[in-house]
């Protein structure tokens, strides 16, 4: 099976719960999983890895504080990352015009850096009466053949 690096961007903890639920599902599917609640770009393994980004959006479409340095380092990187696969989960509230901007922008950045998107971005709308952890787990199970 695959090795996953789960990179979390969160201000209030909601994305952390989603990431932990994803870890549970990926582990049950037989994958190795490492969570990064304080992601450091230089320390995250990229060799033969799949990255799962779980992030909320803060303020006016900004990245959460804990993932800002990771994004800055990724933007500056000249590393060949074309062998790294990824998928993204954005957690947000569609009543804001910046709904899931951080996840969408990070998704675009990864593509621009040569990462391989294996499943289109999943956005979770917290303005609906949903269980974001269950939705993310169902999404992973629905796409398990691509993981």
The string of pLDDT tens digits covering residues 104-132 is 999 999 999 999 999 999 999 999 878 99
Please give the pLDDT value at position 50. 97
| Alpha-carbon separation of residue 98 from 14, 108, 112, 114 (angstroms) | 17, 15, 21, 25
Instruction: Tell me, yes or no, whether 79 lies in a domain.
Output: yes
φ, ψ of residue 24 to 5 degrees: the values are -60, -45
pTM score, two decimals? 0.95
Mean pLDDT of the chain: 95
Instruction: Tell me, yes or no, whether 134 lies in a domain.
Output: yes
Contacts of 69 (CB under 8 A, 6+ apart): 40, 41
Instruction: Tell me, yes or no, whether 89 lies in a domain.
Output: yes
| Total count of domains within the chain | 1
Please give the pLDDT value at position 92. 93
Instruction: For residues 117 and 111, give the distance between their C-alpha atoms in angstroms, rounded to a whole number.
Output: 7
């Amino acid at each position: 099976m695959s090795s996953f690096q789960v990179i979390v961007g969160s201000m209030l903890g909601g994305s952390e719960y989603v990431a932990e639920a994803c870890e549970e599902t990926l582990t049950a599917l037989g994958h190795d999983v490492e969570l990064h609640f304080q992601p450091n770009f230089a320390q995250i393994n990229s060799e033969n890895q799949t990255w799962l980004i779980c992030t909320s959006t803060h303020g006016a479409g900004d990245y959460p504080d804990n993932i800002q340095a990771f994004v800055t380092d990724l933007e500056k990187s000249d590393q060949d990352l074309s062998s790294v696969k990824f998928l993204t989960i954005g957690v947000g509230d569609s009543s804001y015009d910046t709904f899931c901007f951080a996840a969408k922008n990070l998704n675009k950045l990864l593509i621009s850096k040569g990462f391989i998107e294996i499943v289109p971005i999943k956005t979770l709308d917290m303005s609906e009466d949903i269980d974001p952890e269950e939705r993310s787990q169902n999404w992973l199970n629905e796409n398990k053949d691509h993981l």
